[in-house]
Amino acid sequence: MLSPNMEKALNEQIKWEFYSAYLYLSMASYFESISLAGFAQWMKAQAVEESIHAMKFYNFVHERGGRVELQGIDQPPTSWESPLDVIEFGLRHEQEVTKKINNLAELAQQEKDHATYIFLQWFITEQVEEEDSFGSLVERIKLVEQAPGGLFMIDRELAQRTIDFTNLATEANRT
């Protein structure tokens, strides 16, 4: 059973994960508006991944006898100065998500909620990957700043990221 504090914190994280999906869809829209379809594809895949993360939290709360109370999601930004600005924004966002996940883990430890602490370990590891993905993309974009054609090469590469819709429900139900 979840404590009231833990339940409230997990509900807040569900909101944050859905906000992340919403933010990445906004970024995808920005990229589509400037004809960078590969960047848009990559961000759409990020959005789907964040929705899966939200559903993992959702399912976990219910498995632990808690109640999910969905909260309002703020409107994300809709425009940026450049592709680099978008990806740097995404990196800062992922760093903030990492802090939130770490705070949840600390709360679980304080409350001696071992099941939640173990559940959060997957997310802690996932955040290392998320920050690395955005961070390496920032560095790659910076490398090609003086060679505009390089941005199109990165765009073509990012277009290769696919979304496997057949396994979404299975992935979201894994806790």
Residues 6 or more apart in contact with residue 107 via CB below 8 angstroms? 5, 6, 9, 113
Q: How confident is the model at residue 16 (pLDDT cuts 50, 70, 90)?
A: very high
120: amino acid identity, one letter? L
pLDDT at 99: 98
What's the mean pLDDT when you consider all of the chain?
A: 94
pLDDT at 161: 87
Q: Where are the domains of the chain?
A: 4-173
> What are the tens digits of pLDDT across the range 61-82?
999 999 999 999 999 999 999 9
Q: What is the pTM of this model?
A: 0.92
Structure tokens at 73: 């999601």
Return the CATH fold of 4-173: Ferritin (1.20.1260)
**Of residues 146 and 107, which shows the higher confidence score?**
107
Whether residue 69 contacts residue 11, with contact meaning beta carbons closer than 8 Å, is answered with yes
Whether residue 77 contacts residue 55, with contact meaning beta carbons closer than 8 Å, is answered with no
> What are the tens digits of pLDDT across the range 116-169?
999 999 999 999 999 999 999 999 999 999 997 999 999 999 999 887 766 655
Across 5-16, b (16+ Cβ under 10 Å) vs e yields ebbebbbbbbbb
Residues 6 or more apart in contact with residue 135 via CB below 8 angstroms? 91
